[in-house]
Amino acid sequence: MSTAAAHTSPGPVPDVAEVFAFAQDEIRSAAAELWPGARVELSSHIPSVTGYVHRIRVGGRALYAKHSFLGMSLVSILRGVAGDWAEVQRAQAVYVQRPDALLAREAAQLRLLADLGKPRVCEVAGLARGVLFTAPVPGPTLAALLLRDPASTAAVFESVFADLHRLHRSRTAQRLAPAEAISERSVAATFQRKFNGISGQTYLTRLGAERCTEAERAEVAGLLRAVVARLHRMRPTVLAPGQAVLTYGDLKPEHLVFPDGPGGRPVLIDPGLLRARSSVDAAKLTSRTVLLLATARPGAAVAEQIADGLGVFAEQRMRPMAPKAARSWLRELLIVWLMDTVNILTTFLSAPATLPLPPRGRHLVERAVAVCTMADRISTALGGGMDTHRVWDTALGEAKAVAG
């Protein structure tokens, strides 16, 4: 549920300190339930705008513990979307008992993927009281590898998608029960929830109230209104009937870890499996890679190599397709890329100032005007009838520019 799509509580909104303290208590209780008698030590909190994540040691074993409030983002909870703190606690006590609670589905997805064998995923250590415990995966992330060796971008992306091939086969989609899909992470559905009707316009107006200067807010809101309007007109393209496959759903550079180095197979974390068009995983990874460029600002040479690598990767994806199918796939990729960029940027911009953001989130807020300008230029080209392959070239040029 998005802040734009729900009414906030008339009472006081939940406080960050009480929300975090509650999550920590639930993590301790869940660990004690799963491993009676083991010593439980909470180490460091990992900032996030979605769930509450904490590093933990249980009987000396290092784990990650993830807690979710009602399957909503922390931003929505802290904005009062689910009511005041007493209402949230009452609802949470019921929610964690549901078999379709968000982290119960995530645990089921990790187990399904472990059975498939490809892609490799992190180990589920346990699930209790709505808290998911997973084993850490050592090694560099895809984000670190791209910045360290940008010339390998296309090759590394191809290796990732080779591991996803089994997941993307049409018959694999039958392995996931409808109730186990994490449709909340659908890019197109999230975009629709956030920017639907009058509430969506209100949401845009309030963006950055606690994160940006007035001048930045005005510029960002103006650019985003134009981008959102164009994407609404294009949105039916990505929802048109067509063969759906099982997509990873939350594929991004920080969610791919290479324990055996860049030449080895990646291990994936935080799945969001859902049935969607085959372009979705490529679009999400493209979107987040470009945002990596925007926030890391690695310099023109590195940015050019990574963006060119994205171009080579897309060409390789389209090579076996008929020309019409290739244009359709590329157009879908561009639309979902823009929707995802708008979704995550607006989530960070709408976060209360008291909520710690991950480092890339802070940098993205600082680059909000530049990122919105990029999205405005790409969506203008895409909505103006330009040949899709020329739009793609324009988009790659904008990706290089936003890293400057």
pLDDT score of 140: 97
Between CA 128 and CA 170 the distance in angstroms is 33
Residue bearing the bigger pLDDT, 181 or 404: 181
In CATH terms, is domain 142-402 a member of 1.10.287?
A: no
Between CA 96 and CA 102 the distance in angstroms is 9
Judge contact between 266 and 119, C-beta under 8 A. yes
Instruction: Write the Ramachandran bin of 142: left for phi over 0, alpha for psi from -120 to 50, otherwise beta.
Output: alpha
pLDDT score of 239: 55
Q: What is the maximum span of the chain, computed from C-alpha positions, in angstroms? A: 65
pLDDT(185) > 60: yes
pLDDT(115) > 70: yes
Q: Mean of the pLDDT values across residues 184-191?
A: 91
pLDDT score of 67: 98
pLDDT score of 262: 87
pLDDT score of 2: 37
pLDDT(108) > 60: yes
pLDDT score of 7: 38
CB neighbours (10 Å) of residue 65? 26
pLDDT score of 200: 86
pLDDT score of 170: 80
Instruction: Write the Ramachandran bin of 164: left for phi over 0, alpha for psi from -120 to 50, otherwise beta.
Output: alpha
Judge contact between 350 and 205, C-beta under 8 A. no
pLDDT score of 57: 98
pLDDT score of 237: 62
pLDDT score of 174: 85
Residue type, 147: L
Percent of the chain whose pLDDT exceeds 70 = 96
Between CA 227 and CA 133 the distance in angstroms is 39
Residue bearing the bigger pLDDT, 39 or 238: 39
**Which of 200-204, 279-283, 340-344 has the least mean pLDDT?**
200-204
* Average of per-residue pLDDT values in the chain: 93
pLDDT(10) > 90: no
Q: Mean of the pLDDT values across residues 22-36?
A: 98
pLDDT score of 258: 96
Cross-sheet strand order for the sheet of 40-46:
40-46, 52-58, 61-67, 131-134, 124-128
pLDDT score of 242: 62
pLDDT(205) > 80: yes
306-336 residue pLDDT tens: 999 999 999 999 999 999 999 999 999 999 9
Judge contact between 77 and 355, C-beta under 8 A. no
pLDDT(372) > 80: yes
pLDDT(201) > 70: yes
pLDDT(11) > 70: no
Q: Mean of the pLDDT values across residues 22-27?
A: 98
- Which sequence spans correspond to the domains of the chain? 3-134, 142-402
Question: What confidence tier does 8 reach under pLDDT thresholds 50, 70, 90?
Answer: very low
Judge contact between 243 and 170, C-beta under 8 A. yes
pLDDT score of 272: 94
pLDDT score of 3: 38
Q: Mean of the pLDDT values across residues 177-194?
A: 90
Question: Nearest to residue 247, comparing CAs of 185, 297, 307?
Answer: 185
265-311 residue pLDDT tens: 999 999 999 998 889 999 999 999 999 999 999 999 999 999 999 99
30-78 residue pLDDT tens: 999 999 999 999 999 999 999 999 999 999 999 999 999 999 999 999 9
pLDDT score of 1: 36
pLDDT(6) > 80: no
Residue type, 192: Q
